[in-house]
Chain A
Amino acid sequence: MADMDNKLTNKMTWVQVLIAIAFCFLTAFLFMHNDALYSQPIFEVTKVESGKTSKMTDEFQNVDHYHEQTLYGKIVNGKYAGHRLTIDNAYSDSHAMDHHYIKGQKLFITLHTSPKLHATVKDLKRDAPIAFLFALAISLLFIILKWKGVTVISSIVINTILFWIAIIIDHNNDGAAVILIFSILAVIFCFVTLFLVMGWSRKMLVTLSAVLAATAITILITLMVFGITHEKGVYYESMQYVTQLPKPLFIAEVLIGVLGAVMDEATDIVASLATLKTEKPELSKMQLFNSGRQIGKSIMGPLINVLFFIFMAETLPMTLLYLKNGNTWQYSFSMNMSLGMTSSLISGIGIVLTVILSSLFAGLWIKGDER
């Protein structure tokens, strides 16, 4: 019987894998041919001619090569669809701000009509690979988790919508009260996510209160530390893409960033303690608290590292550029990685506080699994 089940699931998996592969490529294909949806003119490269290559050396003795190329092709959408064009392009070996285009690629271009129709390249059209990757992730979620995948995806979609609404509100307030807006958002995020994961129950309320309390205390500790140290070594000027007051924005970033990890951990601890309490109702509050601490102790390290890698890895390109521009290690670190490090440490504090608070709250309020 078990063997038959096994065979059945195996067979289904193979069919599913084939469907998934077809789905990914179909998605990519559709996005490769969605030019009509764009109002910006899109240019398809049909032939590339390489031009001359010249060597160049900057003031820090970095050697690079500059290549010229001529792109032949046609416009595929809009008013000028079907027009053939020739565009000159140049790129370097490092591809920092330029691209090496090849036959078959589609590019966004800027059209100039005077004296005659000509164009310059703006950027590569890159929605197809993004869509492909999304399709791959979604199909894997379905194949491995079946219907649980739907909950995961819907939770991501709901949170993305909430997040976008918060950004609209923030923008309409001209960036005032960022922390307040994102704190309220954090509460709503937690409520929605925990409701989706655990349903409406006492466990969920215990988790929710642990998450909110831990996050609030973390932010307070951060502000206190910043107060005591006069924010020495925190270089807000190195924040990227800042369009409003950097300090509150930074706090809001960390607040949202740590929330997922804190919820992850609190859910784990509270759920385990609830099961424990059901199995052994005689456990005292203190014993429950200590078991919670044992569980938390083993998950906090890996969890801190999750955020550490997310926050730190994205600073890599700019740090490298600083190092290659003759800056010292210390200066390159300060201007690029120090904010990532600060966020990682604050997140770490949040994660550890969650262990304490969720064990404490579970010890005080949990009554075992209500079934």
Chain B
Amino acid sequence: MGSITCLGIVLLVLMMIVGGKQGITSFLSMVVNFGILFFSIVLIAFHTPPIIVTIVASVILLSITIFWSSASDNASTTAFQASCVILILLIAIIIPIEYWAQVGGFGLEDSEELEGLSTYIGIDFTKIAIATAILSSLGAIAEAAIAIASGLDEILTQHDKIRSGELFADGVFIGKQIIGTAVNTLFFGFFGSSLALFIWFYGLNYSLGEILNDKVFAAELIAIVVSLIGVVLTIPITTWMMSFRLKKVQDKTMNK
């Protein structure tokens, strides 16, 4: 048995102990997400336009992550709509930034690994960098949207006559509570996955200027700051979505 299988079994068992049926669903969502991610890479390898593949895959990945979580129907629908809006906004930020910074492809630090590989594959790596940045932000957006939508939904079930203005204040309040720790999740994830790179920079005496302009570092930093922007945007957008839905429901009941 390989280590990955064994770790997977340990995780599945633990998730079943904690979450029962929900635990199995959460585990499956990760497996299916992996399948979709890998399938997207294969599609890109067959010269399907990378950004279109990424956008379609992102919507599917978001819907799986959000609808397979245990959030209520109202909360998960709102979270999904909000995260799709954020996805569009992030793409609008990512595409110009990636073309401006040109971080696609590989840096000098990758030379050793590229030995014996042909890099002239006819697929634009700037687009691949855009895809990478979009994909790495998905989990963070989904998590933040679920957290805020669930919190607001909880408030709605307790005070169903709440006004949308008040709901907005509540949304920002919940957002303030989750943002500090959500940012930590992102930044530690980033520190962890770039640890080797940082040791490399320090060991080879890179100056601050060299690090800031380094392709590999810039690519990772852009991905993480974009995710951070996504999480921050989730707060107002999810709340707007929720109050919009609330207004629609309230108008309907008033007309009756």
Contact = CB atoms under 8 A, between A and B. Distances in A.
Contacts of A93: 122, 124
B30 A305 contact: yes
Given A298-B150, A316-B131, A321-B119, A130 B3 contact: no
A332 to B, nearest CB: 8
Contacts of A255: 192
A244 B139 CA distance: 31
Given A96-B120, A156-B183, A171-B199, 19 more contacts: A39-B209, A94-B124, A127-B212, A130-B212, A133-B222, A144-B236, A152-B180, A225-B7, A225-B10, A240-B109, A297-B20, A298-B71, A301-B70, A302-B146, A308-B33, A313-B136, A320-B41, A321-B121, A325-B118
Nearest to B134: A313
B77 interface: no
Given A38-B209, A302-B142, A352-B15, A241 B120 contact: no
A129 B97 contact: yes
B60 interface: no
B64 to A, nearest CB: 9
The binding surface of chain A is classed by DSSP as helix
Given A225-B10, A341-B4, A320 B232 contact: no
B75 to A, nearest CB: 10
By size class, the interface of chain A is: 35 or more
A225 B3 contact: yes
Interface residues of B, number: 124
A293 B184 contact: no
B105 A261 contact: no
Given A97-B106, A313-B136, A349-B10, A253 B193 contact: yes
B38 interface: yes
B183 A152 contact: yes
A96 B125 contact: yes
Contacts of B102: 95, 99, 124, 126
B156 interface: no
Contacts of B197: 240-241
A145 B143 contact: no
Contacts of B45: 320, 323-324
A243 B196 contact: yes
Interface string B187-221: 11111110111111011000001001101101011
25 contacts: A38-B209, A40-B209, A93-B122, A95-B105, A124-B102, A130-B221, A137-B229, A145-B179, A148-B180, A156-B183, A163-B191, A197-B181, A228-B6, A229-B3, A232-B3, A233-B4, A256-B188, A300-B23, A309-B61, A313-B37, A317-B129, A324-B118, A337-B38, A343-B192, A353-B14
